[in-house]
Amino acid sequence: MKILSVNAGSSSLKFTAYEMPEEKVLISGAFERIGIGESFYTIKINGEKIKKEKEFASHKEAVATLIDELLENGVISSLEEIEGVGHRLVHGGEKYAESVVIDEDVVQTVSELSELAPLHNPANLIGVEAFKSEIPSALEVGCFDTAFHQTMRKKEFLYPVPYEWYEKYGVRKYGFHGMSHAYIAGRMAEILGKEDARVISCHIGNGASLCAIKDGKSVDTSMGFTPNAGLMMGTRSGDIDATLIPFIMGKTGKSLDEVINDLNKKSGYLGVSGISSDSRDIEEAVEKGNERAILSQEMYVERIVNYIAEYYLELGGADAIVFTAGVGENSASTRAQIIQCLEPLGIKLDEEKNQTRGKEALISTEDSKVQVYVIPTDEEVMIARDTYRFIQERTI
Ligand code: ADP
């Protein structure tokens, strides 16, 4: 059975086609700059990557080209072979604790939840509409970034603010990167051979969040009401004292939107170092002795360490700490700096095993009190699995 796993942004569309239940990737790729000119797409098939330039005025046009490519490359011989399309949907609010078959009600609810994710939910729905019109025979499934965290308890997800903010306006911690943390939870249950493992999942890419996992469920996570909470990230500040916002508005004459934009797009690694949001550039500058780069790296590491320590206690200890996403999978030096700070907990890094990149590895020493792993995340396969499950249930 062939299934598409899709992630639609406002001007982009990423896709992976799977043969299920084997989870074999048939083709993957991304359309970029849709509707804003100079659009192009890349496809990866049989280990080869191809880039093509073509103007796409809408996501619908991009989907039409995607279908042509699937046919031309022999991935499918007719449209009906694609039995399901799974969509990444960012915000499911308190309504969705699991993935869902997308019907009119779901579209309506996700649209209403746009006030909680104005940049993401409307774009995700454009993707839903485009596939609905181009592949009407496929079952469409929505997989939410927030769903995995719906198991958090009130004492973890509430902010200490007037209670009616939660009751009337839904102000609470939602958490994101749910499919990534859920993938890590599942993979670690397999690796450790137990369902009740206590795992600290560190998804550190351009966006970054930690998740405390027990019994395969999210107990706590570092992102909050929005993704700009918790850790310092590539361009996001993470946690700050909210009162600095009106202070900076007064000092600079910037509007609220401008300051919020600074906190989302001009902070983090970029803001502190003044160099880049990319940890590779920071690493290079650190090696050259650049002081602000060194400072930004120290701040980045310290925040991750603090959250790991917090979750270690929250979970009553830990069986494993896992590094995943762009920085977590690739940056041996960032991992080493983090683990070094965890020595008081008896956590020890095997320097040699840590020299790994982008593949599963145990990187702690044998006598380390907690095992430390690198596990490449796979949000796309989580979407494909849920979509496959719904199709199976429908046919039974
Ligand atoms: P996103 O949050 O956009 O999905 P990714 O998880 O792909 O991001 O992470 C992208 C980030 O990973 C890059 O901005 C970069 O900081 C970091 N990264 C990628 N490759 C490496 C590498 N080889 N060494 C260090 N950092 C890397």
Q: What share of the chain is helix, strand, coil (3-state, %, to 5)?
A: 40, 20, 35
CA of 389 to the centre of ligand 1 (A): 31
Task: Output the pLDDT for position 395.
Answer: 75
Write down all domains in the chain, each with its CATH number in brackets: 2-144 (3.30.420.40), 194-379 (3.30.420.40)
- The verdict on the CB of residue 297 being under 6 Å from ligand 1 is no
Task: Output the pLDDT for position 343.
Answer: 97
- The verdict on the CB of residue 227 being under 6 Å from ligand 1 is no
| pLDDT tens digits along 110-144 | 999 999 998 899 999 999 999 999 999 999 999 99
DSSP letters for 163-220: HHHHHHH--S-----HHHHHHHHHHHHHHHT-TT-EEEEEEESSSEEEEEEETTEEEE
Average pLDDT score over residue span 307-325:
98
| pLDDT tens digits along 271-282 | 999 999 999 999
Residues annotated catalytic, as ranges: 145
Whether the CB-CB separation of 66 and 31 falls below 8 Å is answered with yes
- Global confidence as pTM: 0.96
Statement: residue 396 has pLDDT above 80: no
| pLDDT tens digits along 37-91 | 999 999 999 999 999 999 999 999 999 999 999 999 999 999 999 999 999 999 9
- The verdict on the CB of residue 325 being under 6 Å from ligand 1 is yes
Statement: residue 153 has pLDDT above 80: yes
* Beta bridge partners of residue 86, listed in sequence order: 5, 141
- Which residue's CA is the closest to the ligand 1 atom numbered 19? 326
Statement: residue 172 has pLDDT above 80: yes
Average pLDDT score over residue span 232-243:
97
| pLDDT tens digits along 372-393 | 999 999 999 999 999 999 999 9
